[in-house]
Chain A
Amino acid sequence: MKSNQQLTGAEALIKGLELEKVEVMFGLPGGCILPAYDPLIKSTIRHILVRHEQGAGHMAEGYAHVTGRPGVAMVTSGPAATNLVTPLCDAYMDSIPMVAITGQVPTSAIGTDAFQECDTVGITRSITKHNELVMSADDLPLAIRQAFHIATTGRPGPVLIDVPKDVLQNMMTWHWPSDDEVIDSLPGYKPTTKGHPRMIKEAAKLILESKQPILYVGGGVLKARAAEALRELAELMNIPVVTTLMARGAFPDNHPLCLGMPGMHGTATAVTAMQRADLLIALGSRFDDRVTGKVSTFAPDAKIIHVDIDPAEQGKVRKPDVPIVGDCRLVIEEMIVALRDLMAGGTKQADISAWRSRVNGWKENFPLAYEPSEPGAALKPQYCLEKLRDASPEGTILVSGVGQHQMWSSQFWHFNEPYTWVNSGGLGTMGFSVPAAVGAKVGRPDKTVWAIDGDGCFQMTAQELITASVEQIPIKVGILNNSNLGMVRQWQEMFYDNRYSQVHFSESVPDYVKMAESMGCVGIRVEAPEEVESAIDKANSINDRPVVVEFRVAPTEQVFPMVAAGRSNDEIMLQPSQEKRRELLR
């Protein structure tokens, strides 16, 4: 599409974003990116003006999580770019498709320590899938097309385009590169999506032979839109499923084959089933240390089928018996075909009924549990989550920060649909939830969006509730306020002999209700069990502004089960009332 149309770089940038079907972007203008904000005035793109650039990044992530489309953030140079570092790294760790556009000082000033100059591509090199400093306005359209192509294909991830101010101001001849031009411009980028047929057949044979198989499902299944294929595979072979923190919702929690979350705070059943399995079918999961515990003792008798679109994940932690590089959905579909073929040819699946009943026995004996609070004593956070779960509409999107509240959310919510759980898994970014919930609500305005936050997390990014109010994005925030950095406190109790160091926040400051009201939100405080339901109902009924519900919860509550960092999954600490049954986990 050559033309003689003359545009400024800024006009080309915005036009390019429109052609990439960007409907919304999150950002905050400043000196070097200013030229790009002018053509935005008459653009079809909705721009959401954030209060801190970190918020823009997490909003873009939240948007991408629930829509599957790349989130876009645009900010200026220097401090704005460095404020994007955390969300970029977060998106990189969790494979979130995202495109970030940063302003840069004019090309003539690069390298002179100019005002608001920083080496953005240098700083973000190891936390982006790719980044690019665009030195000429003529190069902008191709850079944009490459960015969206790279961010959304293969293993998704964040891509950053750094644009000097004069590149935005200079005139260029408009040209929108074709698909072929984009592919040809990236000779080193060819993601493998189709699994190797021989490997898929090998995998099918292993599955049929296995007497104790487990489907170990990771975030890649959601990225590949493979939830339906996964369900078909699981039901075809009757194989129990664990869904990692990044994959909650990829398989319905209310399905009889679902064992819940594995890992450090996973269910005793999921953790133990992986340990005892003779075959782990890892789908889009990466053997993270929070899942494996001590690697040398992880699933010692299991053969491994590892399906991942990123070849570098194969063998990074555990050597697979059958590595399959490819897109999870395509590979699972092919695997189903291969299994059907083998079974039609007379191969029978090994008898897994003993395994199934053993796993089901664990499920019965080791449900997630907590001690209800004594009358008059502080609320239990798990109780609040159960009430919220039961009172919220089907398909509610839950967004969490990082810490105890995140683990309880993942444990006690019932995720029955994909794309209803948004959290920061790999990087563990405190402060993720409020801005990510804003982005999620922008992406899915039809859904109820609850952010569950701790008081520590909330104070890191709460100002984005101003954005939510002003932009009329009615999210709901439940703060499980225990006046502590709860997870740190738990570790100090368990591993530092109750020697508390710098974990206590104030009981009285801030006043979360006043804080919420000052930001244009409705604020509700809940202190007793009988207030919980009415507060949740009230929050769910308000749709014209954000709501903040502060649940004042017991500070002493701990997350169970737990596998201590670096320990074997066999040393799982059970919920105290279940310890006496530990023998049954063999």
Chain B
Amino acid sequence: MTTSNPFGSEPNHHVLSVLVQNRPGVLARVASLFARRGYNIFSLAVAPTEQEDYSRITIVVDLESATLEQMVKQLFKLVDVVRISELDPRNSVERELMVATVRATAEQRGQIVELVNIFEGKILGVGPEALSVSLDGSPEKLNDFSELLKQYGIIESQRTGRVALPKLDRTARVRAVKETKGKAS
């Protein structure tokens, strides 16, 4: 399901914000559509919105724009999909969270703590030979952080996939659908 890293500078990287009815199986529908039509998902984050009837799925895809148009149309055919917006990185706020366990001898510990502080990350746990750290921020910032940690040895790491919303001046438009009620089986 994943492809080469499209974060940052890749030309075919598109971020879709998909508002869906919060119902059983909706994620499976979206995932199965991607699989069935041969589209690649790079990352995917999903959680209920401030209104419990709706969830927002942020999908990063790596596609030609003609394919993207077709993919968006196919996605919109799903009955549970209420709204799809392509988020232009220049006009949206994007965040991603990473947690990592990094090899850290007693001598290295201070260096890593310093690095975490520079990036405004957090120390989540300290062991005799390792540190657990977390960082949230733009995907690019996470990439840079991750690169710098590599020299110490990353034992395990997990990223959430990005979540994104349009920049504030555009949110009024996004809120338009909220008053509808979505209740079924």
Residue ranges of A at the interface with B (Cβ–Cβ < 8 Å): 121-122, 125-126, 129-130, 132-136, 139-140, 142-143, 146, 150, 184-189, 310-312, 314-316
Known contacts A187-B82, A312-B73; A136/B32 CB under 8 A: no
26 residue pairs A–B, Cβ–Cβ below 8 Å: A122-B28, A125-B28, A125-B29, A126-B32, A130-B79, A132-B184, A132-B185, A135-B185, A139-B185, A142-B184, A142-B185, A150-B79, A185-B182, A187-B82, A187-B180, A188-B20, A188-B76, A188-B78, A188-B81, A188-B82, A310-B77, A311-B76, A312-B73, A312-B77, A315-B66, A315-B69
- Besides A188-B20, A188-B82, A310-B77, 18 more A-B contacts (Cβ < 8 Å) are A125-B25, A125-B32, A126-B33, A126-B36, A129-B79, A132-B185, A133-B25, A134-B185, A135-B24, A136-B185, A150-B79, A185-B184, A186-B184, A187-B21, A188-B21, A188-B79, A314-B73, A315-B70
The 3 A-B residue pairs whose C-beta atoms are closest, nearest first, are A139-B185, A312-B73, A188-B82
C-alpha gap A136/B177 in the complex (Å): 27
Residue of B nearest to A161 (CB): B185
Instruction: Specify the main secondary structure of chain A where it touches its partner.
Output: mixed
Q: In this assembly, does B80 line the interface, its C-beta being within 8 Å of a C-beta of chain A?
A: yes
B185 x A143 contact (CB < 8 A): yes
Residue B181 lies at the interface, judged by CB distance under 8 Å to chain A: yes
The reply to whether B77 and A146 contact each other, CB–CB distance below 8 Å, is no
Q: In the complex, what's the smallest C-beta–C-beta distance from B21 to chain A, in angstroms?
A: 6
Is there an interface contact between B184 and A143, defined as CB atoms closer than 8 Å?
yes
Interface presence of B175 (CB below 8 A): no
Q: Once the chains bind, are B69 and A184 in contact (CB under 8 Å)?
A: no
Which A residue's beta carbon lies closest to that of B77?
A312
* Residue B183, interface by CB 8 Å: yes
Q: Would you give the 0/1 interface string for B28-68, flagging 1 where the beta carbon is closer than 8 Å to chain A?
A: 11001100100000000000000000000000000000100
Bound: A122/B181 CA distance, A: 26
Question: With A150-B79, A311-B73 in contact, is A184–B181 under 8 Å at CB?
Answer: yes
A residues near B81, Cβ cutoff 8 Å:
188
State A418–B32 Cα separation when bound (angstroms): 36
B108 interface contact, C-beta 8 A: no
Q: How far is the CA of A142 from the CA of B82 in the complex (A)?
A: 19
- Please give, as numbers and ranges, the residues of chain B lying within 8 Å of A140 by CB-CB distance: 185
Smallest CB–CB gap between A180 and chain B, Å? Answer: 11
| Number of residues from B at the complex interface, CB < 8 A | 29
CA distance A468 to B181 in the complex (A): 46
- Set of chain A residues within 8 Å of B181, measured between Cβ atoms: 184-185
Q: 1/0 per position for B100-125, CB-CB distance to A under 8 A?
A: 00000000000000000000000000
CA distance A136 to B184 in the complex (A): 10
Is B12 positioned at the interface, with any CB of A under 8 Å from its CB?
no
CB proximity of B82 to chain A, nearest CB, Å? 4
Q: A125-B32, A184-B181, A185-B184 are in contact. Are A312 and B79 (CB under 8 A)?
A: no
Complex CA–CA separation, A578 to B83 (angstroms): 55
Interface centre among B36, B70, B76 (most CB of A within 10 A): B70
B78-100: which have CB < 8 Å to A? 78-83
A185 near B183: Cβ-Cβ < 8 Å: yes
**Residue from the set B24, B66, B77, B183 with the largest chain A CB neighbour count within 10 Å:** B77
Q: Tell me how far the C-beta of B151 lies from the nearest C-beta in chain A, rounded to whole angstroms.
A: 45
Nearest Cβ on chain B to A543's Cβ, whole angstroms:
43
Q: Is B157 an interface position by the 8 A CB rule?
A: no
CB-CB < 8 A to A121: which residues of B? 25
Q: Which B residues are CB-close (under 8 A) to A314? A: 73
Query: A316 near B70 (CB under 8 angstroms)?
Result: yes
B5 neighbours in A (Cβ, 8 Å): none
Give the chain A neighbours of B25 by CB distance below 8 A. Answer: 121, 125, 133
A122, A125, A142, A150: most-surrounded residue (chain B CB, <10 A): A125
CA distance A189 to B69 in the complex (A): 19
In the complex, the answer to whether B184 meets A184 with C-beta atoms within 8 Å is no
User: Taking the nearest CB of chain B, how far is it from the CB of A196, in angstroms?
Assistant: 16
